[in-house]
Structure 1
Amino acid sequence: MKKALLVLLAAAIVGAGVTPTDVAAATKKKTVAAKKKAPGAAKLARVKHTLRAKSAHRVTSLDDARHLAVQSSAALVLDQTTGAILFEKNPNAILPIASITKLMTAMVVLDGKPDLTETLVINEEDVDVLKGTRSRLKVGTHLAREEMLRLALMSSENRAASALSRHYPGGRDAFIAAMNQKAQALGLADTRFQDATGLTAANVSSPRDLAKMVDAAHQYPLIREFSTTSEGEFSIAGRPQHFRNTNTLVKSPTWEIGLSKTGYINEAGKCLVMQAWLNNKPTIIVLLDSWGRLTRIGDANRIKRWVENASLAQRPGASAG
């Protein structure tokens, strides 16, 4: 039956004036074209698959690291005072960082020492045409620069971050250049930026770099304040609207968080960076490429318990009971 079909197909090809060689060449051409399509996405998928396949035990940490099952593909926990690494998993993996980007956006804005009371306007250029994300900041919304900054850090408002970059001296291109210059100045060798929101997967970094970036951002009082504000009300188009922090841990009574930023796009997975006090010590936590809805929060809580339990075990007179 298959042989008969092949004979009929060959006859049809010849009748159309197309040789089998032509068909083979065309098929090869389509295959090559398909392979060339979006090579960046294919490479990223391979990298992330490899990271997820690695054992969670391949870490450098305290003696009982085997008891810390972090699900995020890449992670780092750092003593902010001493610089000692308490835990790391794929610390040099270079991955998309989504809205973690907004920490750099905020630093560049504040470095320019702008008038925070100046009114900025959301326009069509701030609408996300890359991912099609929605926003409650409609085109024509007027807000003070300070309010835009608060919304970008607290609620990860993309249009607010876009407007901040657009109102920078020299415009958006100058702003992106300043972001990359700031990254170089901080020694972030694995970090690159192409926009101020993080909606593009071209914004990349590594856990080691992000720990440095979090430490630098923590030096800015407004970034500390705005990124840890649990909720707030803003007047949008003359009507009060309520916004919440994208990190639910900032309102948890069991956490003392000094800086926070979440991030998510499909290419990056769910990300979370924080500066928090664990055992009365300032600690930086970086979690990249989490996929469960609550995985990054679960990882953060697991890290907190692990650090606290390790501290208890190391106290004089402590027993394994």
Structure 2
Amino acid sequence: MRKFARLLQTVVLGALIAVAGHGLAAAPAASDTHLPLPWVTRGPEGVHASGAALADGLTGTVLWSRELNTSLPIASITKVMTALVVINSGALDRAVTVPGEVVGYCAEHDGSTAGLVPGEVLTGRQLLYALLLPSGCDAAYALAEAYGPGQGGFIAAMNETARRMGLGGTNFTDPSGLPNPTDHSTYSTPADLVTLGLRAMSLPVFREIVGSRSYGVPAGPGNRAHLWETTNGMLGDYPGAVGIKTGNTDAAGTCLLFETVRAGIPMIGVVLHSSDYSADVAQADAERMLNWAYNPILTALPIG
């Protein structure tokens, strides 16, 4: 029975990808793309996001989208690229001293913080938890200073990485996604963010971090104690949620890049500007999209 279930799962997912690909090729340009999947006749209802995409988590084939290639502010989803640049450096255990400038940087832009103290020393790996769980803009600044080296060098590396990945609708001017220098200077598209999310989630260290609901660092000779908790409410709330990143600024509204795995079937998606301020609305948008895709599949699979 288990082998049969796995075979059926593969057949269902293969059909989803094949028909979705056909639907994308044949569909006219529109604000909302609804694909004629064999067991779904229309897209998810009640999604508030200005831009959105849902894709299968194996190939990145888009199953449903809204403004797929429209560039929009992405707020702290930017930190996914920040983490990717740091991880690609291969030097996660290097000691990083938190610079004094983090206080003014976060205060000037009203950025979320991980409670870092100037002068304390943490590893790059620890700072990635501070970056991705509580969405610490202070951690983003500290990592950029250390791995750039400097803000300018690091932002250049972010944009070069985006260029190599083919993210043509993406631009970074700040390692946190804060409105620096303007509300709209850091931006991306739903299509680009699906690609970025897939790349980041393919890295075990990144996947482990964003799948964590909390992470603690004990006090040491060079640092205070920290306990960081994720801002991603889908972890623990939605079955199969495995990550990845929230975001919120005045211009971007509430945003969420997310991935789930149910019955062994991965889905990845993003919602941009679901609401001006409510993270709950962004999460509800993501859940509506996922339920639209998963419910018919899970009904068809003989898996408990």
Residue 304 to residue 123, structure 1, CA distance change in 2 (3 Å): same
Aligned to 1:251: 236
1:96 to 51, 54, 73: 73
Aligned with residue 273 of structure 1, among 257, 272, 285: 257
Deviation at 1:262, TM superposition (A): 0.6
Whole-angstrom CA distance in 2 between matches of 1:196 and 1:146: 16
Q: 1:314 to 1:65 in 2, by over 3 A?
A: farther
8 Å Cα contact 1:153/1:223 also seen in 2: no
Residue of structure 1 in register with 2:34 after alignment: 60
Contact 1:269–1:289 under 8 Å retained in 2: yes
Q: Distance in 2 between matches of 1:247 and 1:169?
A: 27
Change (3 A) 1:95 1:306: same
Within the candidate set 200, 203, 208, 2:186 is matched to 203
Q: What one-letter code is carried by the residue in structure 1 that aligns with 2:289?
A: I
**In structure 2, distance between residues paired with 1:131 and 1:76:** 29
For the residues of structure 1 that align with 2:108 and 2:190, how far apart are their CA atoms?
25
- For residue 242 of structure 1, report the CA deviation from its aligned partner: 2.5
Aligned match of 1:123:
100
Cα distance, 1:67 vs. partner?
4.8
Query: What is the TM-score with the length of structure 1 in the denominator?
Result: 0.74
Whose Rg is larger? 1
- Equivalent residue in structure 2 for 1:284, among 268, 272, 282: 268
CA 1:310–1:115: 2 relative to 1, 3 Å: closer
Contact 2:93 2:125 (8 Å CA) reproduced: yes
In the alignment, is the contact (CA less than 8 A) between 1:270 and 1:288 conserved in 2?
yes
Deviation larger for 211-220 or 76-85: 76-85
Confirm or deny: 8 A CA contact 1:122 1:137 kept in the other structure: no
Which of 64, 71, 79 is the equivalent residue of 2:48?
Answer: 71
Partner in structure 2 of residue 9 of structure 1: none
CA displacement, residues 35-54 of structure 1 (integer Å, 9 cap, x when unaligned): xxxxxxxxxxxxxxxxxxxx
Cα–Cα, structure 1 residues 306 and 66, in superposed 2: closer, same or farther, change >3 Å?
closer
Contact 2:60 2:198 in 1 (8 A): no
- Partner residue of 1:133? 111
Matches of 1:66 and 1:121 in 2, distance apart? 46
SS at match of 1:196: coil
Q: Secondary structure at 1:164's aligned position in 2? A: helix
Tell me if 1:85 matches 2:71. no
* Aligned mates of 2:253, 2:55 — CA distance in 1: 22
Question: Which residue among 284, 291, 295 is the counterpart of 1:298?
Answer: 284
Alignment match, 2:7: none
Q: What CA distance in whole angstroms lies between the structure 1 residues aligned with 2:149 and 2:269?
A: 34
Q: Compute the displacement of 1:250 (Å).
A: 1.4
| Residue 52 (structure 1) aligns with | none
Structure 1 227/122 Cα, relative in aligned 2: closer, same or farther at 3 Å? farther
Quick check: 194-203 or 139-148, which moved more?
A: 139-148
SS at match of 2:65: strand
| Among candidates 125, 130, 146, match of residue 167 of structure 1 | 146
Taking a change above 3 Å as real, the CA distance of residues 125 and 231 of structure 1, as seen in their structure-2 partners, is closer
Instruction: Give the 3-state SS of the residue equivalent to 2:52 in structure 1.
Output: strand
In the alignment, which residue of structure 2 is the partner of 1:217? Answer: 200
- What pairs up with 1:15-30 in 2 under 5 angstroms? none
Contact 2:121 2:223 in 1 (8 A): no
1:160 aligned counterpart, secondary structure: helix
Q: Distance in 2 between matches of 1:241 and 1:171?
A: 25
**Structure 1, unpaired ranges of 5+:** 1-55, 317-321
Paired amino acid for 2:254: K
Distance 1:113 1:315 in 2: 41
Q: Secondary structure at the match of 1:65?
A: coil
Contact kept in structure 1, 2:148 and 2:155, CA below 8 Å: no
Give, in whole Å, the separation in 2 of the partners of 1:220 and 1:64. 35
Shift in Å at residue 315 of structure 1? 6.9
Q: Which residue of 1 aligns with 2:124?
A: 145
What's the offset of the Cα at 1:142? 2.5
Residue pair 1:191, 1:209 contacting (<8 A) in 2 also: yes
Deviation at 1:84, TM superposition (A): 2.5
Task: Give, in whole Å, the separation in 2 of the partners of 1:181 and 1:243.
Answer: 30
Contact 1:78 1:87 in 2 (8 A): yes
Determine helix, strand or coil for the equivalent of 1:59. Answer: strand
- How many angstroms apart in 2 are the aligned matches of 1:57 and 1:64? 17
- Size of the alignment, in residue pairs? 260
Q: Distance in 1 between matches of 2:159 and 2:283?
A: 29
* Deviation larger for 176-185 or 63-72: 63-72
2:215 pairs with one of 232, 236, 241: 232
